[in-house]
Chain A
Amino acid sequence: MKVMVAVKRVVDYAVKVRIKADKSGVETSNTKMSMNPFCEIAVEEALRIKEAGRASEVVVVSMGGEQCVETIRTGLAMGADRGLHVITQDSSSLFPLAVAKLLQALVSSEQPRLLLLGKQAIDDDCNQTGQMVAGLLGWPQATFASKVSISDDKESVCVEREVDGGIETIQLQLPAVVTADLRLNTPRYATLPNIMKAKKKSIQRVTPEELNVVIGSDLEVLEVTEPPKRKAGVMVASVDELLDKLKNEARVF
């Protein structure tokens, strides 16, 4: 069984994010980029499934400009077998629906039985791609996975989902889409020998045109601004003053 994992290159989680002067987006030049943490968890899960003997091949796919190759190499260094790079002019126009359509095309040519993704990217927090691609493919989906178990006959997968009320356990027929949540696993370090081996693993490049997918501009970013600075707290002298401020300034009621 083949497992495909989609990974995204984002600003590293420890970096203090800055907005570009023209407010068109976040500054990414001279900024450290890394694989999205939830995508790392997805890759780790795919590797564990392979190590448990339930999968024969793990393919890592990423989309965007040339630098995506670094992110794919990280996946290969963790232990994935092959990489796929959908090369586009720039990464900023790849909104979830476009990514979902591209994944749909890749799935139909690669034929994986399980598509793993991170639940969301830490740059846009969309939490949409997994759900959209499952819809486009007509596949069952299990999002926010905190535990994934492939059945012995490899026909179904049992997933524990982290939902507001607790944990929901569902069983899906394969092929299926699963998105990873934080507690699914702790990703392994890429060891030096594996990083060296990864340099020799193949990364196939493909364009949206070759996949017959038109990337439409369904969304336009108008402006990106910093959140307003937290204002200093105000001490009130009495309960009446508090009620007055809550009503007339904070307009809570």
Chain B
Amino acid sequence: MDYDVVIVGAGPAGLAAAIRLKQLCDREKRELSVCVVEKGAEVGSHILSGNVFEPRSLTELFPDWKKQGAPVEIPVSEDKFWLLSSKHAIPLPSPFRNHGNYVISLSQLVRWLGTKAEELGVEIYPGFSASEVLYDDNRVVGIATNDMGIAKNGCKKSTFQKGMELRGRLTLLAEGCRGYLSEEVIRKYQLRKQSGAQHQTYALGIKEVWEVEESKHRPGFVLHTVGWPLNTKTYGGSFLYHMANRQVAVGLVVALDYQNPYLSPYEEYQRFKQHPSIRPMLEGGKVVQYGARTLNEGGFQSIPKTVFPGGALIGCSAGFVNVPKIKGAHTAMKSGLLAAETAFEQLSKGSEPAKLDSYWERLQNSWIWDELNAARNIRPAFHYGLLPGLAVSAFEHYISKGKLPYTLKHGRPDHLSTEVSKKHKPIDYPKPDGVISFDLLTSLYRSNTNHEHDQPSHLLLRDPSIPEKVNLIDYAGLESRYCPARVYEYIPDENEKLTLQINAQNCLHCKACDIKDPPQNIKWTTPEGAGGPGYSIM
């Protein structure tokens, strides 16, 4: 199938780009065919985010979004920031300026964007994984979806369907953080080298949506914490946002450059909920959904060149999260808008092959660039520890605002930051109480994740002997601790020897393993379409 523009990923960036293309078509009386493929079973199924939303880009896309009924309804009413110790919560001045922002479910907003896109004539195909980039003489000419109906042993089942090629005059990759095809393209065209960028750094966010008692519900209440349960060497923090319908989004974000291989972000999150100032906010409520996803923390220093022959990277596939603000949806959407405007211009001119080079320039002249540049020194400062980090943040945030001519660099890449297990002690996490904290499999059930069972594992090991030789011995099998879906388990075999078992069916598509594995032996690839989590209000 041939299209003018093929977009991989129906997230905020992909849909903003698709919508903008069609809006320009309407305005300029042109016709462009736009196709969006999405590996989730529905638009929004794989979308997870805090989310305190800055509506700036939504307003650029739809100035009358309120009238059109966008699910952006709860304005931020309180903005709290606490430093936690194991028993206390010390209020600090909030570094955020959330006035004018809204507490939303990004999954819900993306679903709404999907209906708007379809109304404008965008063809959206959920349930199809883009598994391959198509090249023609060093130029990206589209993508191919994966074959469906292959059994675990690799044979074709009776339901076998060959994947399909979707060719585009231009291809936009909007796969989110650590996108499967995006990473391949970044490597192939050396996009980080081209922009002089450093490596990307990441964090893993674990999130639940609770339904709380009416008396405890404060719509628009926004809380962020730092400190306990994470130690001064581990960057991260929690969030707790009151949405509509007595729903509360709560979670913990742990930077993946943590050093202790015994750390479990999931267990840290369960521990966090038991804090005497947090627990009462959730007591009496019940968990509605659970999920996890990695996010970019590299900011300005890690932005690769976003243009390659035949296409571009938009949204978190490139990496535009403003880490101190902890917001990335607004910049993702803006990047989609800029790419769409450039694509429309180029395709209308009719010059073949179409080039998106001016998208890269537009980005550098946009507010995305200003915003990320101003925030660039805050996250890297935490490399020196919590207190230096807070000190530099305060200085940068209130005084210098990124204007001083220094740029702090990131430390080692996340996968090289883990120290060997013999330097650390196992962490004795408390047992779940089943009321506030839960065991992982109970939580996983709440993510609605599922994959067709009889298919090859989508998590590939470059060398199948490395987990037992390296991960288990040097790092105490760390993947069995950081994976928020219990995909990786070391189980004794018939000879009582621990071997790695990969429960691919549990996967939440968070990409933590692809990022954190010290020997970079684990490769996340796309499973059959429609598998994965079923987020609806995350």
Chain A residues proximal to chain B, CB less than 8 Å: 12, 14-16, 18, 21, 30-32, 34, 186-189, 191-193, 195-196
Q: Report the Cα distance A25→B215, complex, angstroms.
A: 23
Q: Report the Cα distance A84→B156, complex, angstroms.
A: 34
Q: Is B164 an interface residue (CB 8 A)?
A: yes
Given contacts A15-B448, A32-B45, A196-B123, contact A189 B149 (CB under 8 A): yes
Q: Is B125 an interface residue (CB 8 A)?
A: yes
- Chain A nearest CB from B435 CB (Å) reads 11
Interface residues of B in 149-168 (CB under 8 A from A): 149, 157-159, 161, 164, 166
- Chain B nearest CB from A227 CB (Å) reads 15
Q: Which residues of B contact A192 (CB under 8 A)?
A: 1, 125, 128, 145, 164, 166
Count how many chain B residues have C-beta atoms less than 8 Å from C-beta atoms of the other chain: 29
- Chain B nearest CB from A52 CB (Å) reads 15
Among A31, A189, A193, A196, point to the contact of B536 (Cβ < 8 A): A31
- Chain B nearest CB from A116 CB (Å) reads 19
Chain B residues proximal to chain A, CB less than 8 Å: 1, 41-42, 45, 105, 108, 123, 125, 128, 145, 148-149, 157-159, 161, 164, 166, 211, 246, 288, 445-446, 448-450, 534, 536-537
Q: Report the Cα distance A188→B108, complex, angstroms.
A: 29
For A15, the closest partner residue in chain B by CB is B448
Asked whether, in the complex, the Cβ of A16 is within 8 Å of the Cβ of B1, the reply is no
Q: Report the Cα distance A189→B158, complex, angstroms.
A: 10
Asked whether, in the complex, the Cβ of A191 is within 8 Å of the Cβ of B161, the reply is yes
Q: Report the Cα distance A191→B528, complex, angstroms.
A: 12
Q: Which residues of B contact A32 (CB under 8 A)?
A: 41-42, 45, 448, 534, 536
Asked whether, in the complex, the Cβ of A14 is within 8 Å of the Cβ of B158, the reply is no
For A17, the closest partner residue in chain B by CB is B448
Asked whether, in the complex, the Cβ of B288 is within 8 Å of the Cβ of A18, the reply is yes
Q: Report the Cα distance A200→B211, complex, angstroms.
A: 42
Q: Which residues of A contact B211 (CB under 8 A)?
A: 21
For A34, the closest partner residue in chain B by CB is B41
For B40, the closest partner residue in chain A by CB is A32
Asked whether, in the complex, the Cβ of A12 is within 8 Å of the Cβ of B164, the reply is no
Asked whether, in the complex, the Cβ of A195 is within 8 Å of the Cβ of B161, the reply is no
Inter-chain pairs besides A21-B246, A192-B145, A193-B164, 12 sampled, C-beta below 8 Å: A12-B41, A14-B448, A14-B449, A14-B534, A15-B448, A16-B446, A30-B537, A32-B534, A34-B41, A191-B164, A192-B166, A196-B123
For B126, the closest partner residue in chain A by CB is A195
Write 19 A-B pairs (CB below 8 A) sorted by A numbering: A12-B41, A14-B448, A15-B448, A16-B445, A16-B448, A18-B288, A30-B108, A30-B537, A32-B41, A32-B42, A32-B45, A32-B448, A187-B159, A188-B159, A189-B148, A189-B149, A192-B125, A195-B125, A196-B1
